[in-house]
Chain A
């Protein structure tokens, strides 16, 4: 329950962090008035605003599919949080096949995006949805292949088991290539800059979400931030030791705070990239996945396998 509660609030925290971090990186401070210090209450104000907005469903839209789409995008990210360990005993469910389950469930949200784009009956929405689908399929492969190398090294699919296996050292030191591939592929899965062609505002307005207003749109935003938390959490477990602290002082601080700190740091990194890199072009993006990341990930798996057999 604690874990669930944390993950229902964390996306909002990340959303707030995005506002503020970007504001300071770009020297445009934005709303600083609400609530006093640094406009902390702006998030509440935004929430109230979203609730008040008119809920518009376009006339040509398929209203059922249109209405269901935000939920289909959102639910997978909530379902992931059930298996992510936040401490040696702090998890909702320790599935044998934890990481495999997580990767499978994240693949569902693309169906929601396709539903949203198609049901809007708007060509920009449809192009955005198709771009998102092509991108998510292309980058799911490197994501899974990068995780496979970690699973091979840990010898288990369970997320708790993988965290435990990193008791002596984190896998970022043995799998730096895997970490790089995983982070890049996560960015693309989240359609975050520099991989945000599906919502490229200069070309297709806001992609699949163009026609959405009010709470439904807020759902998509929450799903995006929930996705950042989810992928940061998975990357923390796979490569940064999850709830394992650093040596010497590791035992002084409970695992929950280690894990939260790592998730926060990775989320900050993801937001940082948005302020740093320009958007890729659609063909560059596809080429990067198929020509660079996937062969690299396959080579990573091969090397991991050979080393594992040799060390044994």
Chain B
């Protein structure tokens, strides 16, 4: 089973074809695989992740995610697809700062059609508990929580819709080593539990040890990047 398959994927921000940000001939990821991607800043990491998650449409080529061809979908369909199947964790600003943890997770739930009628409250609480967030912090605006807590809540938010694909974009770079280890183990155990495919981007290659594959975007991307 293939989770991700890129075939001659090209992307450029402006309509001129000569300034390609992304140009990948072929790349694929098996279902359940954990891929570590590294590369210097400006090699097109964020752009590529935006393509994989369907935020940006590819300019050319075929991009198959979980068996669906994203380039054939409309904008609305890609938004819907992302809400239903893809979890996403950023380096920072993973949460709406003025909403509390529970509302933040519910917001992610709002755009997903899976299990619409079923009250997610229990799941949310379970997730938060498994991520070691104290109950007293559930109802605080997330801006008042520590960065470590925020990143863990971000994992909860990313997993609430039981995504088949999880994309993490330098999620640990603003954490200290203690919080980083904590974060990594929580992430890995949830990925295992949900049998999700993980695309993890970081410049910190010391984190690569628990991954199935290690890729350098520089080798992969023939485009200029940014």
- The answer to whether A binds B is no
Chain A residues within CB distance 8 Å of chain B: none
